[in-house]
């Protein structure tokens, strides 16, 4: 062991070096975001709460009741009832989404050919009542205000 190493050992050099690093962290700006007073902004592609999109003028749902999202969902959390509407096309009767089963994979959004279901950046989903996790068509429609505007284009 050379002289330099011996001196370093005696003066606890590397321990003091380590202490300067933590000391520097103590003196610099902290990374804490003080939730709930400050909130981080999710990115546009964030996979949060779902929303059903409707045409803002006519109020008509984008959804064509094609059952693609229901079929592709890996956890089977979407239940769709469709029937023949007055103009001969399929119309959506029931769209239920069990949020407790959802794994937020985004497949339903990905396969939808009409951009009818999107995932919004809403992530504060905690609730005291478990029934709030069973989302119906109305609740999903109400959430479309939070959807990123580019995803809503039909």
Contact residues toward other proteins (CB under 8 A) are: 9, 14-15, 17-19, 21-23, 25-28, 30-32, 34, 42-47, 66, 68, 71-74, 103-107, 110-115, 119, 154
- Given the complex with other proteins, which of 35 and 128 has the nearer CB atom? 35
Distance from C-alpha of 118 to C-alpha of 152, rounded to nearest angstrom: 8
- Given the complex with other proteins, which of 34 and 131 has the nearer CB atom? 34
- Given the complex with other proteins, which of 10 and 145 has the nearer CB atom? 10
| In the complex, minimum distance from the CB of residue 56 to other proteins, in angstroms, rounded to a whole number | 18
C-alpha 90: how far from chain center: 29
Helix 13-27 / helix 3-10 crossing angle, nearest 10 deg: 50
| In the complex, minimum distance from the CB of residue 58 to other proteins, in angstroms, rounded to a whole number | 19
- Given the complex with other proteins, which of 3 and 15 has the nearer CB atom? 15
| In the complex, minimum distance from the CB of residue 15 to other proteins, in angstroms, rounded to a whole number | 6
| In the complex, minimum distance from the CB of residue 129 to other proteins, in angstroms, rounded to a whole number | 26
| In the complex, minimum distance from the CB of residue 12 to other proteins, in angstroms, rounded to a whole number | 8
Give the 3-state secondary structure of the chain.
CCHHHHHHHHCCHHHHHHHHHHHHHHHCCCCCCCCCCCCCCCCCCCCCCEEECECCCCCCECCCCCCHHHHHCCCCCEEEEEEECCCCCEEEEEEEEECCCCCCCCHHHHHCCCCCEEECCCCCCCCCCHHHHEECHHHHHHHHHHCCHHHHCC
- Given the complex with other proteins, which of 62 and 144 has the nearer CB atom? 62
């Amino acid at each position: 062991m050379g002289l330099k190493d011996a001196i370093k050992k005696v003066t606890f050099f590397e321990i003091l070096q380590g202490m300067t690093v933590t000391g520097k962290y103590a003196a610099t700006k902290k990374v804490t975001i003080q939730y709930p007073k400050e909130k981080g902004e999710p990115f546009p592609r964030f996979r949060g709460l779902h929303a059903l999109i409707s045409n803002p003028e006519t109020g008509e749902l984008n959804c064509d009741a094609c059952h693609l999202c229901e079929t592709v969902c890996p956890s089977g959390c979407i239940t769709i009832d469709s029937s023949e509407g007055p103009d001969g096309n399929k119309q959506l009767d029931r769209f239920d989404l069990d949020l407790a089963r959802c794994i937020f994979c985004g497949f339903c959004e990905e396969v939808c050919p009409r951009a009818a279901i999107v995932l919004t950046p809403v992530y504060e989903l905690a609730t005291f009542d478990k029934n709030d996790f069973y989302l119906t068509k109305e609740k999903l429609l109400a959430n479309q205000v939070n959807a990123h505007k580019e995803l809503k284009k039909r």
